[in-house]
Structure 1
Amino acid sequence: MSLPDRLSVLRHREFRRLLTGRTVSVLGDGLYTVAAMWLVFDLTGSTAYTGLAGFLTQIPGVLSMLVGPIVDRARLGRVLTLSELAQGVVVLVVPLAWLTGSLSVVVVLATMPVLSLVGLFAGPAQTAAVPRLVPDDSLVRANAAATAVGKTVDALARGIGGALIVLVGAVGVYVVDAATFALAALLFFSLDVPDTSRGATGEDDSTQPAGFDRDTYVRDLREGIETLTGSVLGLMLVGSLFANFLFGVAFAVLPSFAADLGGAGTYGLLLAGLTAGTVGGSLLSSWVESVPLGRSTIVGLTASGLLFAVSIWVARPVLSVALFMLSRVPVGIYNVSVMATLQSGVPDDRLGRVSSVLSSASSLVSPGGVLLGGVLGELVGTRTVLLVSAAGTVLTASYWLLVPSLRTFESPTGVEPGSLA
């Protein structure tokens, strides 16, 4: 497939608008993360408080599954617009507290879970919007573009955020962040997303259900869970959750490993390698979109675990960073391929529910992995924890190999629309 063919997904005007709005939104998220964590540490001088800040930011994600039924029955452009506006309003609480002389770490910490809660709608809404804006055979390329742009902008935002703190202070970055949310809201406001492009039967369905009460909400929520657990997607979820847990375990001790190699600079390079490898894998995913997902996952995750293990074993700054980056390439391919499979195989009118259940499950296991990794690092040492994490990645590949329906699963482009209902 030629480069023009790979970029053909950008010919779809509404997808370009969605991608632009997502880019601005991710920029705002990255700026906020840097400013919030720095401000908490600046106000307290305590790493315990920064740990609490990270927990408060992540834990609301457990509730993601509750927003899915709402997203599936709402106009997606409106959901995205209101989510960005709400986040912008919450972010402004900190600058207003500073102006009135009432800024404290309690105020900063209190805004964190609130901001995460109002932002819960954005992810499922964006996931549900993509297959309504591009043809089914372009889903891999669309997700590759969204992932690559998101990861790249997030990495840039963290660097820009650090520079802005020096120029205007952490509170000033909050103001800039609010402006990015407002711009993203403006972009999403003009986004034209069809109510549905494909119903559960695969037929065109441009109407919304007439009523939506508590019983309907509960039924829709149950239907989203059953769609996931009652198909091969549930088996994929088990492997993904295990992989996310292992990444949390490794992430907890990565600063200690970097300190032994060379210090803070090495840690920064490892994080940059993580982002670069994931982005690279996302871009390469369109090259393997016709390869059976079972085959690409088994080979890719095995290679990822082995490369990661070697990067830990050699323990040399430049070589370890390079190998760590390469180990994330198969992960980037896997993420895009599974997302394209999800968007193609799940009926559009259930995508919000299914993707939000996935998000809730990930939010449950990732913090647990971080906590366990930190404890194990103290008990058995950093390198041992990292090597166990690498071995676990190979075990995830073995899980795909041993489960027949995963081992033989077809390519993302071969999944029939609505076939995973």
Structure 2
Amino acid sequence: MQDAAPDAPSLLRQRPFALFLGSRILSAAALQIQVVAVGWQVYDLTDSALALGLVGLAQFLPMLLLTLLVGQVADRVDRRRLVGLCRMVTALGGAGLAWGSLAGWLDRDAIFAFVVLFGTARAFEMPAQQALLAGVVAARDLPRGTAMATSANQVATICGPALGGFLYALGGAGAAYGLAALAFLLAGLMVLAIRIPARTLMRGKVTMESLFSGITFIWSRPALLGAVSLDMMAVLLGGAVALFPIYAKDILETGPWGLGMLRASPAIGALAMSLLLAWRPIGHGAGRRMFLAVILFGVATVVFGLSRSLVLSSAALILLGAADVVSVVVRQSLVQLSTPDEMRGRVAAVNALFIGTSNQLGEFESGVAAALLGPVPAVVLGGVGTVVVACLWMRWFPALLAIDRLEDVSPDAARQNAPFVAKR
């Protein structure tokens, strides 16, 4: 008989997991402070929705170009050191932004150059961080550990934007960038302090087969392919994050503090849901719950797009964040539980590309759509598109819809006898 899985307090008493969470909180908070400052500063300098979209594109392109490489690196080196190094590089870039803002030489092009640097560092960091979680908790604890890690991320996402907006309003961009750089530095030191048993590193020459093995692995598992592609399409179409500065300044007529509130609102809902899932992990019907959550995400996006009230907008974003975290926990748990440890870096890199496509490329898509159609039609059409995609994916990926308990997923059970064929 298996021992009962530890509860949330027991997991927190495990030092490697506690350090992992602490480092994740600091780095996520630093990222959100940085995002608020970059978004407001770029829009203040350019007054352009397209420029906001280009910020997302500048972060996404390094991830797109480096996906196959970063997966190899994450499986061939110590993942703790890789994550720590990436956060140190981001800290140096943040210090450069602070210096440029305070000295007065930072312009739009310089900001884009720093954003490319951050995107490159995150391209290496994300798959290593995702794979590292499976090294600090047991397989049976992954759904709960994923929910707790998501909770930690959302705590930072609530505090970070509000703090970033406050610092920007009070001390300018330099103060916000400086605090973000310090937080990234501390986060890097904390992850380097994690001590876990050594794992077997990938050896041998890099071949075309090994380069594309992460893509092949996901493609051959319909439930996994459905989960990562559904999450990608939902945020790609329904993500209105890049347009928050426009909504805060022009539609809701607030200042940087209002932008901070909009940034924090999805995280409030996500935190509440992730704490609930850490206390009571998803039981039966995991696939069905994921689809329902994505539909709710689309509906909340439409409400936000039509709102002219900061209170209603924040409420819609809170609901959106709660729905999104259900999708995140299901997807991340499937990725970790379906993948052997020796392949987690490569598979996580492909998963990170899907995430980057939805987040950063979604920001670019939102900026272009807003420039062509206006911000409100762009957000509303994106929300409607998300609902349509969820309905199509239920038909095309029945293996995902049929998933019952996440704890029952394994590398063997996740694979179907035949590769993915879309049902039409």
Normalised to the residue count of structure 1, the TM-score between the two structures is 0.82
Question: What CA distance in whole angstroms lies between the structure 2 residues aligned with 1:375 and 1:169?
Answer: 28
Relative distance call for 1:252 and 1:131 in structure 2 (3 A) is closer
Q: Aligned AA for 2:70?
A: V
**1:278: which partner in 2?**
270
- 1:349-383 Cα shifts (integer Å, max 9, x gaps): 11111121122234345555445545555666655
Question: What CA distance in whole angstroms lies between the structure 2 residues aligned with 1:71 and 1:291?
Answer: 33
- 1:297-352 Cα shifts (integer Å, max 9, x gaps): 23333344445546667866544543442243222112112101211111111111
Q: Tell me the CA shift for residue 195 of structure 1.
A: 3.8
Relative distance call for 1:358 and 1:313 in structure 2 (3 A) is same
- What's the C-alpha RMSD, in Å, of the aligned pairs? 3.4
Question: What CA distance in whole angstroms lies between the structure 1 residues aligned with 2:189 and 2:364?
Answer: 39
Q: Tell me the CA shift for residue 75 of structure 1.
A: 0.9
Relative distance call for 1:415 and 1:183 in structure 2 (3 A) is same
Equivalent of 1:180 in 172, 180, 183: 183
Instruction: Tell whether 2:113 aligns with 1:122.
Output: no
**2:12: which partner in 1?**
10
**1:154: which partner in 2?**
157
Helix, strand or coil at the partner of 1:394: helix
Equivalent of 1:228 in 215, 218, 223: 218
Alignment of 1:257-406 (within 5 A): 262-264=252-254, 269-286=261-278, 287-309=280-302, 318-319=311-312, 321-374=314-367, 376-377=369-370, 384-402=377-395, 403-406=397-400
Larger radius of gyration: 1
Question: What CA distance in whole angstroms lies between the structure 2 residues aligned with 1:327 and 1:98?
Answer: 34
Q: Aligned AA for 1:356?
A: A
Relative distance call for 1:329 and 1:119 in structure 2 (3 A) is closer
Helix, strand or coil at the partner of 2:123: coil
Question: Greater CA deviation, 283-292 or 131-140?
Answer: 283-292
Helix, strand or coil at the partner of 1:67: helix
Residues 76, 193 of structure 1: 8 Å contact kept: no
- 1:2-39 Cα shifts (integer Å, max 9, x gaps): 9x834332132211111111122222222333344455
Q: Aligned AA for 1:243?
A: A
Helix, strand or coil at the partner of 1:121: helix
Q: Tell me the CA shift for residue 166 of structure 1.
A: 4.9
Question: What CA distance in whole angstroms lies between the structure 2 residues aligned with 1:136 and 1:40?
Answer: 43
Instruction: Tell whether 2:233 aligns with 1:242.
Output: yes
Question: Greater CA deviation, 151-160 or 92-101?
Answer: 92-101
Q: Aligned AA for 1:414?
A: D
**2:35: which partner in 1?**
33
Q: Aligned AA for 2:276?
A: L
Residues 85, 181 of structure 1: 8 Å contact kept: yes
Helix, strand or coil at the partner of 1:7: helix
**1:202: which partner in 2?**
none
- 1:31-57 Cα shifts (integer Å, max 9, x gaps): 333344455566x45546555444323
Aligned length: 405
Relative distance call for 1:145 and 1:263 in structure 2 (3 A) is same
